[in-house]
Amino acid sequence: MKIVLLDALTFGETNLSAFNDLGEVEVFQTTSPQEVQERITGCDVIVTNKVVISSFHMSNTPSLKLICVAATGMNNVDLEAAKTKGIEVKNVAGYSTDSVIQHTFSMLFYLMGHSRYYDEYVKSGSYSNSAIFTDVSRPFFELKGKKWGIIGLGTIGRGVANIAKAFGADVLYFSTSGENNTDDYERHNLENILKGCDVISIHAPLNEQTENLLDYEQLLTCKNGTVILNLGRGGIVNEEAVAKIVDEKDIYFGLDVLTKEPMVKNHPFLGVKNRDSIYVTPHIAWASVEARDRLISSIVENISSLK
Round the average pLDDT of the chain to a whole number and report it: 97
Cβ contact 102:291 at 8 Å: no
Residue type, 145: G
Q: How many CB atoms lie within 10 A of CB 32?
A: 10
Whether residue 114 lies in the annotated active site: no
State the pLDDT confidence band at 215, using cuts at 50, 70 and 90. Answer: very high
pLDDT of residue 179: 85
261 part of the active site: yes
DSSP letters, 204-273, are ---STTTTT-B-HHHHHTSPTT-EEEE-S-TTSB-HHHHHHHTTTSS-EEEES--SSSSPPTT-GGGG-S
For position 180, what pLDDT does the model report? 82
Q: What CA–CA distance (Å, rounded) separates 150 from 298?
A: 29
Alpha-carbon distance of 203 to 166, in angstroms, equals 19
- pLDDT digits over 271-304, tens only? 999 999 999 999 999 999 999 999 999 999 999 9
Q: What is the mean pLDDT of residues 101-120?
A: 98
Predicted confidence band of residue 307 (pLDDT cuts 50, 70, 90): low
200: Cα within 13 Å, side-chain hemisphere: 28
Question: Residue 143: which of 116, 189, 178, 112 has the closest Cα?
Answer: 112
Confidence label for 56 from pLDDT (cuts 50, 70 and 90): very high
If you average pLDDT over residues 73-84, what whole number do you get? 96
Name the CA radius of gyration of the chain, rounded.
Answer: 22
- pLDDT tens per residue, range 9-32: 999 999 999 999 999 999 999 999
Q: Which of 233, 239, 292, 294 is catalytic?
A: 233
Helices 97-112 & 115-123 angle (0-180, nearest 10): 60
CA distance 158 to 101: 9
**pLDDT, tens digit, 9 for 90 and up, residues 132-155:** 999 999 999 999 999 999 999 999
Contact 226, 198 (CB under 8 A): yes
Q: How much is the pTM?
A: 0.94
> Among the options 186, 261, 290, 301, which is catalytic?
261
Whether the predicted pLDDT of 126 surpasses 80: yes
Q: What is the pLDDT of residues 172-199, one digit of tens each?
A: 999 998 888 898 999 999 999 999 999 9
Strand order in the sheet with 227-230: 186-187, 170-174, 147-151, 199-202, 227-230, 252-255, 278-280
- Residue 115 to residue 109: CA distance in whole angstroms: 8
Please confirm, yes or no, whether 294 is among the known catalytic residues. Answer: no
Q: Give 81's Cβ-side CA count (13 Å radius).
A: 17
Q: pLDDT exceeding 70 applies to what percent of the chain?
A: 100
Query: Rounded distance, CA 264 to CA 110, Å?
Result: 24
* pLDDT greater than 90 at residue 255: yes
Contact 69, 45 (CB under 8 A): no
Name all domains of the chain by residue range, CATH numbers in brackets: 2-95+289-304 (3.40.50.720), 97-280 (3.40.50.720)
